[in-house]
C-alpha cells in the first residue's frame, strides 16, 4: 500500500466564468456553467475539512474568482479555518472598495495576472480590454496598509517572449514582492493554440538568461519564480509534486481532482465534495489512487533513479500526447514515445513556424490575426 | 508609492516578517507561511523568528541568543543569525 502524506494546498476553482479569454487558459475546453457551481456554505465546509486534513494554503482561482459575489465570505471562512489565502485574479471587477473588503476579510496574498507590457498586445492575448485596469489596481494593492503579499504573474510564450526584459521592467515598476514568470503549459486552451505559443529553443535559452539576470539584480527586492515549458526540457516536471501527494483541486461543481487537467483522462471517476468529505476523498477516491505512488509506473520509470524526483511526469500530458495516461511523460528523453514531443517541437517551435505579433493597436491585431488562435470562451 | 527597501542587514536593522508572511500551523508544530510555501521552524530558527516581531534590532536579537548560547565562540552567533536572516530576506520572507 502506498504511504499517504497529507495535502498541503487546496486549489479552489470557484467558478469558470471569466471576463478574459486568454488563449492559454488552463481551464478545460468544456467549462462548468453558473447553475452547477457550489454554494458558499459548501465551500466553507470544504475549507474547514481541508484545514483539518493538514492543508496550509488555499488558492482561490477560476475562471475569475471575482465573478463570485460571495468571495469576501469565502476568504473570511478560509481565514477562520486558519488557511493561508491566496487570490489568483485578472483583477477585472475589482474596485478599491472591494479590494479593501477582501483584505479586511483576511486575504494574505494577491496574485495579479499580466499578459504583456504593451497595452494593445496584452489586450489582444487576453481577448479583452483589461490591461489599463490592472495597472491601476497594482497601485492600489501596493498602497494597502498593512501590506499584503503581492505577486505579478506573467505567462510567457512565442508572442511575447521576444521582449521579456521590457515586461520584467514594467512589472518591476509595480513593486511586487514576487514575480511569477510562467511559460505556458500545454493543456486546455494552450494545447489548442500550441502552434502559436510554443517558443523556439533559442528563444527559451535567451529567456532563461534574462530571468537569471533579473533574479540577480532584484535579489532581496523581488522574488522571481520561473516555470519553463517542459517541451524543451530533458526530463519531465514533477507535476503537482506527484499525483495525490501534496495538492488537490476542487472544480466549480465540487468535483475533486488531483490536478487541473485530470478531467481529460478517460475513465476517471471524480468524487464530489457534495457527497464525500475531503478526508474520505483524499484517502479513498479512485481518481486520487489511480497514479499515486509507483505501482502504476511502466518502464523506464519503474526502475529509474529519478522516479522520486519527477514521479514519472504528468499523467494528463502523457494522455494528451500519447493517448495512454499510464505512459511515461513523452517530454522525458528516456520515454519510448519521446519522438512525439520532438516532432511537436520541430513543427511548432522552429523559427518561422508561426507568425509573431508585431506592434499594432488592439483592434488591428484582432482583425489582422483573426483565426490565428482560439480564444477561451465563457460559460453561462 | 515607491517603497524603500534597505537591503543591508546591520546592527540597527529591525528584521520583521515581509508582507503576507505570518505564523501558521499549530502551537506544537508552528510553520512560517508565505506565498506558495511554508517552512517548519524548530530550535534556534524558531527562537530567532519569534524575535522578528518588529520590536528588536539585529544587535538585540544577537544579544538574546548569546545569553542563551554562552559557550558559542565569539562572533559565531551573530554570523549564524545574519546568514539565516539574509537567506530568508532573499526569499522575501524577512524584511529589514
Secondary structure of chain A as H, E, C letters: CCCCCCCCEEEEECCCCCCCCCCCCCCCCCCCCHHHCCCHHHHHHHHHHHHHCCCCEEEEECCCHHHCCCHHHHHHHHHHCCCEEEEEECCCCCCHHHHHHHHHCCCCEEEEEECCCCHHHHHHHHCCCCHHHHHHHHHHHHCCCCCCEEEEEEEECCCCHHHHHHHHHHHHCCCCCEEEEEECCCCHHHHHCHHHHCCCHHHHHHHHHHHHHHHHHHCCCCEEEEECCHHHCCCCCCHHHCCCCCEEEECCCCEEECCCCHHHCCCCCCCECCCCCHHHHHHHCHHHHCCCCCCCCCCCCCCCCCHHHHCCCCHHHHHHHHCCCCCCCCCCCCCCCCHHHHHHHHHHCCCCCCCCCCCCCHHHHHHHCCCCCCCCCCCC
Residue-level pLDDT at A293: 92
Q: Provide, as residue numbers in chain B, all residues whose Cβ is less than 8 Å from the Cβ of A151.
A: 35
The CA distance from A44 to A41, in Å, is: 5
Q: Which of A151, A177, A225 sits opposite B18 (nearest CB)?
A: A177
β-bridge mates for residue A226, sequence order: A181
Determine whether the interchain pair A221/B19 forms a contact, defined as Cβ–Cβ distance below 8 Å: no
CB contact under 8 A, B5 and A109: no
* B1, B35, B92: residue with CB nearest A86: B35
Place of cell 537569471: A212
User: Which one of A177, A182, A247 makes the best mutation probe of the B interface by having the most chain B beta carbons within 10 Å?
Assistant: A177
- Please tell me the predicted confidence (pLDDT) of residue A220: 85
d(CA A84, CA B68): 33
Cβ–Cβ below 8 Å for A56 and B38? yes
Q: What is the pLDDT of residue A3?
A: 52
The pLDDT score that the predictor gives to residue B7 is: 67
pLDDT tens per residue, range B60-84: 999 999 998 888 887 899 999 999 9
B75 touches chain A (CB under 8 A): no
Give A 326-355 residues with CB within 8 A of chain B.
none
Confidence of residue A117 (pLDDT cuts 50, 70, 90): very high
Average pLDDT over residues B17-40: 92
Whether the predicted pLDDT of B5 surpasses 60: no
Residue A5 pLDDT: 87
Q: What is the mean pLDDT of residues A80-96?
A: 97
**Mean pLDDT in residue range A132-140:** 97
pLDDT of residue B1: 39
Query: Is residue A376 within 8 Å of A23, Cβ to Cβ?
Result: yes
Q: Which residue of A has its CA nearest to B8?
A: A220
Closest CA to A6 of A363, A316, A288, A366: A288
Name the band, by pLDDT with cuts 50, 70 and 90, for residue B28. Answer: confident
Give the other-Cβ count within 10 Å of A275's Cβ: 9
Query: B1, B18, B20, B88: best mutation site toward chain A, by most A Cβ within 10 Å?
Result: B20
Any alpha helices (H) in B38-75, and if so which ranges? Answer: 43-50, 58-68
Q: To the nearest whole percent, how much of chain A has pLDDT over 70?
A: 99
Asked if the Cβ–Cβ distance from B19 to A146 is below 8 Å, we say yes
Is a pLDDT exceeding 90 seen at residue A216? yes
State the average pLDDT for chain A: 95
- Touching check for A143 and chain B: CB below 8 Å? yes
Nearest CA in chain A to B88: A220
Of residues B22, B35, B89, nearest to A220 (C-beta): B89
Mean pLDDT score of chain B: 89
Hey, which residues does A150 pair with through a beta bridge?
A110
> Are A175 and B92 in contact (CB < 8 Å)?
no
pLDDT at A187: 94
Q: Which residues contact A347 (CB under 8 A, 6 or more apart)?
A: A195, A353
A324 in reach of chain B (CB within 8 A): no
Residue of A nearest to B29 (CA): A54
Residue-wise pLDDT for A282-324, tens only, equals 999 999 999 999 999 999 999 999 999 999 999 999 999 999 9
First to last CA, chain B: 18
Percent of chain A exceeding pLDDT 90 equals 91
Cβ-based neighbours of A343, under 8 Å, separated by 6 or more: none
**Across B35-41, average pLDDT:** 93
What number is the average pLDDT over the span A204-224? Answer: 95
CB-nearest partner of A56 from B1, B19, B31: B31
B-contacting residues in A 51-70 (Cβ below 8 Å): 56-57
- For A318-356, how does the pLDDT look when each residue is reduced to its tens digit (9 = 90+)? 999 999 999 999 999 999 999 999 999 999 999 888 888
φ/ψ of A293, rounded to 5, equals 75, -150
pTM of the model: 0.94
| High-pLDDT (> 90) share of chain B, % | 70
- Whether A265 and A315 have beta carbons less than 8 Å apart is answered as yes
Distance CA A11, CA A307 (A): 25
Report the relative pairing of strands A57-61 and A84-89 from DSSP bridges.
Answer: parallel
Does the pLDDT at position A40 exceed 90? yes
Q: Do residue A178 and residue B92 have CB atoms under 8 angstroms apart?
A: yes
Residues sharing a CB contact under 8 Å with residue A292, sequence separation 6 or more, in sequence order? A2, A4, A242, A243, A244, A245
Residues A222-263: pLDDT tens digits?
999 999 889 999 999 999 999 999 999 999 999 999 999 999
| Residue A310: alpha-carbon gap to chain centroid | 18
* Confidence band for A1, pLDDT divided at 50, 70 and 90: very low
Mean pLDDT, rounded, for A367-375: 87
- For A56, the closest of B20, B24, B92 (CB atoms) is B24
Are A108 and B33 within 8 A, CB to CB? yes
Q: What is the pLDDT of residue A230?
A: 93
Amino acid at each position: 500500500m502506498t504511504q499517504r502524506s497529507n495535502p498541503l494546498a487546496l486549489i479552489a476553482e470557484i467558478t469558470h466564468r471569466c471576463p478574459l479569454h486568454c488563449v492559454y487558459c488552463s481551464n478545460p475546453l468544456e467549462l462548468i456553467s453558473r447553475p452547477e457551481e457550489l454554494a458558499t456554505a459548501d465551500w466553507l465546509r470544504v475549507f474547514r475539512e481541508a484545514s483539518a486534513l493538514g492543508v496550509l494554503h488555499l488558492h482561490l482561482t477560476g475562471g475569475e474568482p471575482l465573478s463570485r459575489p460571495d468571495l469576501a465570505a469565502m476568504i473570511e471562512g478560509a481565514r477562520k479555518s486558519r488557511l493561508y489565502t491566496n487570490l489568483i485574479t485578472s483583477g477585472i471587477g475589482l474596485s478599491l472598495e472591494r479590494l479593501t473588503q477582501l483584505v479586511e476579510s483576511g486575504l494574505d496574498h494577491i496574485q495579479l495576472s499580466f499578459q504583456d507590457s504593451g497595452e494593445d498586445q496584452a489586450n489582444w492575448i487576453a481577448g479583452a480590454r483589461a490591461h489599463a485596469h490592472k495597472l491601476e489596481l497594482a497601485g492600489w494593492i501596493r498602497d494597502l496598509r498593512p501590506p499584503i503579499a503581492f505577486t505579478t504573474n506573467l505567462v510567457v510564450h512565442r508572442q511575447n517572449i521576444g521582449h521579456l526584459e521590457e515586461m520584467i521592467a514594467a512589472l518591476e515598476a509595480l513593486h511586487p514582492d514576487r514575480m511569477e514568470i510562467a511559460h505556458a503549459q500545454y493543456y486546455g486552451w494552450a494545447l489548442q493554440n500550441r502552434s502559436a505559443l510554443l517558443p523556439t529553443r533559442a528563444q527559451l535559452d535567451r529567456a532563461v538568461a534574462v530571468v537569471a539576470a533579473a533574479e540577480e539584480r532584484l535579489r532581496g527586492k523581488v522574488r522571481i519564480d520561473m516555470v519553463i515549458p517542459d517541451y524543451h526540457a530533458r526530463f519531465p516536471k514533477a507535476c503537482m509534486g506527484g499525483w495525490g501527494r501534496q495538492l488537490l483541486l476542487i472544480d466549480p461543481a465540487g468535483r475533486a481532482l488531483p490536478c487541473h487537467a485530470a478531467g481529460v483522462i478517460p475513465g476517471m471517476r471524480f468524487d464530489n465534495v457534495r457527497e464525500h468529505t475531503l478526508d474520505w476523498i483524499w484517502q479513498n477516491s479512485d481518481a486520487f489512487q489511480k497514479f499515486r505512488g509507483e505501482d502504476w509506473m511502466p518502464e523506464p520509470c519503474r526502475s529509474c533513479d529519478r522516479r522520486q524526483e519527477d514521479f514519472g511526469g504528468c499523467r494528463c500530458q502523457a494522455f494528451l500526447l500519447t493517448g495512454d495516461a499510464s505512459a511515461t511523460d513523452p517530454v522525458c528523453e528516456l520515454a519510448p514515445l519521446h519522438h512525439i514531443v520532438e516532432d511537436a517541437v520541430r513543427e511548432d517551435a522552429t523559427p518561422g513556424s508561426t507568425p509573431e505579433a508585431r506592434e499594432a493597436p488592439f483592434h488591428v491585431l484582432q482583425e489582422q490575426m483573426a483565426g490565428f488562435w482560439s480564444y477561451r470562451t465563457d460559460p453561462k | 508609492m515607491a517603497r524603500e527597501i534597505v537591503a543591508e542587514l546591520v546592527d540597527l536593522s529591525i528584521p520583521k516578517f515581509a508582507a503576507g508572511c505570518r505564523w501558521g500551523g499549530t502551537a506544537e508544530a508552528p510553520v512560517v507561511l508565505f506565498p506558495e510555501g511554508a517552512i517548519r521552524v524548530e530550535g534556534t530558527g524558531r527562537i530567532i523568528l519569534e524575535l522578528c516581531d518588529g520590536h528588536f534590532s539585529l544587535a538585540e536579537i544577537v544579544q538574546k541568543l548569546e545569553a542563551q548560547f554562552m559557550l558559542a565562540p565569539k562572533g559565531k552567533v551573530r554570523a549564524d543569525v545574519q546568514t539565516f536572516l539574509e537567506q530568508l530576506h532573499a526569499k522575501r520572507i524577512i524584511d529589514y
